[in-house]
């Protein structure tokens, strides 16, 4: 009898925990941190940061360059090895004891060079689904048409070296409520975007429009209209340096009349879905 009582008390203590951490609005929150950086907060309050280029982003206000302002981080996703995407990822991983998932070759280099311990740099690749935050948040790596050199300054020689960075990628993240976000990473147009649109049917695409290194506004509009037809599109990766001349306005104009709602977010703006 006493044992039964104890078991039910333990049961009561364990069960309510997920409820305590759930977001009060029961929604997914998408926050743009500038460039290709986003903070996604899940329905149950899990925080995913993608391509955190924060402390060195020239377009951020000084107050937003402070990594403490991000709050807690549960998972870091990096699309490829370029500096404007790896960014503050390793520092955030160590600060929050949160794994940094990236194309496997980049994770290998981060470990081999001593940037991250192996437990914070798990290998991951295109195909299948990973669930590092529990069964109800599903993450898939997809193709991107780009490159992924990892430039690293050797502290012993002071010289820059180029290391393996894996293949560039995008991510499809499906949240607890079924809402699917597709972060495209850095990419040019490719025909398998049609497959990605058909197979994953993302509700929201985070789409680069800068037009140098990545899609131009016209390319992005074509992919949005022909391949994804998402409910929402958020233009990103523009204006951070002088070469990224494409603008959200050009993207919106190129799209014309469409069922997709373009969310031209301000840096640090957050919207819930
Ligand atoms: Ni890049
Ligand atoms: Mn980039």
Q: What are phi and psi of 125, to 5 degrees?
A: -155, 180
Higher pLDDT, 165 or 18: 165
Could you tell me the two tokens for 244? 């990224």
What ligand has the least distance to the C-alpha of 106? 1
Kindly give the distance from the C-alpha atom of residue 19 to the centroid of ligand 1, in angstroms, as a whole number: 39
Residue pLDDT, tens place only, 168-203 = 999 999 999 999 999 999 999 999 999 999 999 999
Ligand 2 centroid to Cα of residue 116, in Å, is 22
Q: Residue ranges per domain, the chain? A: 22-272
CA of 84 to the centre of ligand 1 (A): 7
Nearest to 32 by CA among 70, 68, 62, 66: 70
Ligand nearest to the CA of 148: 1
State whether residue 208 is helix, strand or coil. strand
Q: Which CATH class is domain 22-272?
A: alpha beta
| pLDDT more than 70, % of the chain | 92
Cβ density class 106-132: b for 16+ within 10 Å, e for less:
bbbbbbeeebbeeebbbebeeeeebeb
Interval 16-40: pLDDT, tens:
444 556 788 889 999 999 999 999 9
Question: How close is the Cα of 82 to the center of ligand 2, in Å?
Answer: 6
Residue with tokens 């955190």: 52
What's the predicted TM-score (pTM) here? Answer: 0.92
């Amino acid at each position: 009898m006493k044992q039964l009582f104890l078991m039910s008390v333990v049961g009561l203590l364990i069960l309510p925990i997920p409820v305590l951490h759930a977001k009060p609005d029961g929604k997914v929150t998408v926050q743009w941190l500038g460039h290709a950086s986003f903070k996604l907060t899940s329905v149950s309050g899990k925080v995913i940061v993608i391509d955190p280029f924060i402390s060195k982003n020239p377009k951020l206000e000084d107050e937003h360059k402070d990594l403490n302002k991000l709050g807690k981080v549960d998972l870091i996703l990096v699309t490829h090895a370029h500096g404007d995407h790896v960014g503050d990822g390793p520092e955030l991983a160590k600060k929050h004891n949160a794994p940094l998932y990236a194309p496997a070759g980049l994770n290998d280099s981060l470990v081999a060079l001593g940037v991250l311990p192996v437990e914070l740099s798990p290998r991951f690749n295109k195909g299948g689904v990973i669930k590092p935050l529990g069964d109800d948040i599903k993450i898939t790596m997809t193709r991107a048409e780009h490159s992924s050199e990892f430039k690293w300054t050797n502290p012993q020689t002071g010289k820059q070296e180029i290391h393996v960075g894996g293949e560039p990628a995008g991510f499809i993240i499906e949240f607890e409520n079924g809402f699917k976000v597709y972060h495209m990473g850095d990419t040019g147009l490719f025909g398998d975007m049609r497959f990605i649109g058909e197979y994953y049917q993302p509700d929201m695409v985070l789409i680069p429009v800068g037009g140098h290194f990545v899609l131009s506004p016209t390319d992005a509009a074509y992919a949005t209209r022909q391949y994804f037809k998402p409910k929402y599109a958020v233009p990103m990766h523009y204006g951070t340096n002088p070469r990224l001349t494409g603008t959200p306005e050009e993207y919106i104009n190129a799209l014309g009349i469409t069922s997709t709602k373009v969310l031209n977010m301000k840096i640090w703006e957050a919207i819930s879905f």
